[in-house]
Structure 1
Amino acid sequence: MGYLRWISIAVVVTTLVMVVLVAGSGWATLSDQIGAGVTLVAFLLTWFIVGIRAFNSKITALVYIGILVVIVGTGVAFLPSMAILQAIAYPLVWIITERTRNAIIGNVAVALSVGVGFVIHNGTSAEALLYSGTIVGLSIIFSLALGLWITQISRLSDQRQTLVDELRSTRDELSAISRDAGISSERKRLAREIHDTIAQDLTGLVLVAQRAKRELDNNQIAAAAEQLELIEDSARAALAETRALVAASAPVGLTGEGITSALERLAERYSRETQLTVTVDAQALPAIARETEVVVLRCAQEALANVRKHAEATTATIVVTADGVGLTLSVRDNGGGFDPAVTHTGFGLEGMSERLGLVNGRLDIDSSGTGTTVRAIIPRDVLA
């Protein structure tokens, strides 16, 4: 414990100062000086033999305080100037004792021992008793006030340290939670991106490969060659999307030409892969932030993927409009429709809802009549 070193230094320095004072007390008798000197030696040795160990044992602390009371009183009985030992005795009492009540008792005991020492040295005359009583009273008042003040400061310091430790623990817990949440969020993001890009590209490759196989079986070489060319184009697109995903950059479908051109290329690609007629109406759109363009493109991709896998439709229309409320992406098909209230497996609609939730948007599905209309609505304040 580092503070023990400083207390030991204080004890040694106090002892040396008192030795100088005792040695310079020319008015005192030799026997008083020797007695005071022996008392100082006892004071110093007692600290290093018993006092240092008092912090680890209540009984040892009680024994040391008792010895300290006797030493201080004895020293004052030899020389009144030995009362200066109170300057170190009171702090030792307050530091060693754990309970405030015990510290107060020890404090009063030291003050009374000083008073007894004065009486032994000065006698019992009225003047001597008044002098001794005044010294003892003032010592008790100021030592108790100082001790209680220091105790209160120490208590507040301990409370603050406890709060700091709790705050650090809470900060570490929040850091771990934030890290876990970040990992979970990144996993969800990657799952959405893989589903909306690579998984759909691979699904398209499977469908085109099956079509090419049928045409080869029917000996339609020219048509099969066209399908193989489409497979190559789709594979290149999937590779480009994969590289963009690894690099965490913008989707390859988005270029400087904006979302309208990206949607038109998407429609053309789906028309080639599925023989589904896809049209786009997305003119006169305001400036849109790149993050919002990504959301619109991914929602359109997922909606067309659902049309290809489930709708059995022949046509699909992508319509993007913007007004004072926000931007709306609508994807309509002329397929058989479905019941939105029925629980469906798969990641598509849920992934679209989560992606829209990132921009405070929402997903609406209308499949009450012929075909299905999927609407992705994005509020105006997140467009730019």
Structure 2
Amino acid sequence: MLKPRWWDVTVGAGSLAIAVGLLFGFGPEGQQRLMIALASIVVFVLGYVLVGRAAIGNPPAGWRFPVFLGVAALALGVGTAAAPFVAMLQTLAYPLAWVIGDTRRRGILASFIIAGSVFAGVLIGGGFTAGAAVSGATTAAFSVVFATALGLWIASIAEYGEERARLLAELTAAQAQVEALSRGRGASEERERLARDIHDTLAQTLAGLVILAERGGRQSRDGESDAAATTIATVEQVARDALNEARALVARTAAVPSEPAFEGAVERLVERFRAQGGATIALEIGAVAGSLERDAQVVLLRCLQESLSNVAKHAGAAHAVVRVAVAEDGAARLEVVDDGAGFETGTPRSGFGIEGMRERVALAGGRLEVESRPGAGTALRVLLPGTRVLAEETL
């Protein structure tokens, strides 16, 4: 309750109730004492309006806290000495002191000062008798204990609320940071995916175009017009394939979108590399009992394209064999074996080649196996799990 308007209502209503009580039934004997009691209430209200109100909800209070505390203590002491009923102002003075003080230490100090002023007022009003001293001490002790206990309890609740607000703000900031990191990671993964796609499609096709163009130019210079015409026709077809691949990248579709059947896409891809010359490529399509998900088709076609590109550009192989099989549950196996130069599998390699295939296969839940030795050729296998296995892993 740190909004000043609520305290305005509370202080106004409470002070008015005490003044009415003095005028109708609880006032002292003698007009002079009554006027002093009423004046003390007015002083208390003015102290709140002119000094204390501006400090509510706006810590630190600074000079306003000691000034308001002094005014409240003076009003309580003088008013209680004139009329004991004015001690009811404690019900307003204690909570205001805790709210304006804004710390436990200030709240406890203010409670003792207010209790002391009430004790002094009762003692003075009672003529410094033993009964007045006992009555004042009892009233002050009870009120200060109650006010301190209540103030500490309310302060702990307020601190708990502030701590929760702080933790909520930190959590909100952390969530915003995680969201930003997730967006950044998503963007990074998308860039990597796009880089792999470009490398596995357009880059490979353009490399094939370069090889075919070089062959066509050589054949034309050597007077082999028929062979050159055949090569140019192949260049035209490969260029059309490149255009289809570019459109596929834009639409995020498969590597060979114009060929709906997976077997046909594999045959077309192998035929393209056969047309480039170099190694003799044998294709063995085994039992295709089940159907492949589109994502699995993309993974296998990308890996096949990258493997055949490596055979053509790096292996120096005379023969290569491509084997593809799909089980009833959708599990797939792709194997590309060549008799080329081979390499050390443990040697770090740059580029998107094998590592790009490994990442792509891992994202599909499969595994990539590479067996190779210098001079002994290379065997590459891609193993993708079936839909049933993926569902069990998800569960």
The 2-side partners of 1:210 and 1:17 are apart by 105
- Three-state SS of the structure 2 residue aligned to 1:319 is strand
**Structure 2: distance between partners of 1:159 and 1:27:** 46
**SS across alignment from 2:286:** coil
* Partner residue, 1:351: 356
The 5-angstrom pairing of residues 33-72 of structure 1 reads 33-54=34-55, 55-72=59-76
Distance 1:64 1:276 in 2: 98
> Deviation string for 1:197-222 (max 9, x for gaps)?
11111111111111121222223333
Paired residues of 1:35 and 1:78 also in contact (CA < 8 A): yes
* Structure 1 residue 195 displacement after superposition: 0.4
Q: Percent identity over the alignment?
A: 37
C-alpha RMSD of matched pairs (Å): 2.7
- Partners of 2:255 and 2:16 in 1: CA distance: 82
Quick one: structure 1 residues 347 and 317, their matched pair in 2 at CA, closer, same or farther if it must change by over 3 Å?
same
- Structure-1-length-normalised TM-score: 0.89
Moved more, 230-239 or 373-382: 373-382
The residue number in structure 2 matching 1:375 is: 381
**1:263 maps to which of 254, 261, 266:** 266
Once the two structures are superposed, residues 232-285 of structure 1 have per-residue CA deviations (whole angstroms, 9 ceiling, x without a partner) of 22122112211221122333348542x333212211222123354323223223
Task: Report what 1:82 is aligned to.
Answer: 86
**Separation of aligned partners in 2, 1:297 and 1:307:** 15
Please name the residue that 2:230 is paired with. Answer: 226
| 2:353 aligned with 1:328 | no
Question: 1:130 Cα deviation (Å)?
Answer: 4.2
- Shifted more, 283-292 versus 122-131: the winner is 122-131
Is the 1:332–1:374 Cα contact (8 Å) retained in structure 2?
yes
Distance 2:391 2:120 in 1: 88
* Contact 1:288/1:383 (<8 A) preserved: no
Which of 360, 367, 386 does residue 362 from structure 1 map onto? 367
Distance 1:249 1:37 in 2: 88
Cα distance between partner residues in 1 of 2:243 and 2:218: 26
Q: TM (normalized to structure 2)?
A: 0.87
Q: Would the alpha carbon gap of residues 383 and 316 (structure 1) be closer, same or farther in structure 2, given more than 3 Å must change?
A: farther
* Corresponding residue to 1:284 among 283, 287, 296: 287
Q: Which residue of 2 aligns with 1:10?
A: 10
Cα distance in 2 between the residues matched to 1:238 and 1:208: 14
Deviates more, 1:4-13 or 1:113-122: 4-13
Structure 1: gaps (5+ residues): none
Distance 2:25 2:219 in 1: 123
How many residues are treated as equivalent by the alignment?
383
**Gaps spanning 5+ residues in structure 2: where?**
none
Checking the alignment, whether the CA contact within 8 Å between 1:292 and 1:383 is kept in structure 2 is: no
Map Cα deviations across residues 126-171 of structure 1 (whole Å, 9 max, x no partner): 5544443333232123212211110111121122122112212221
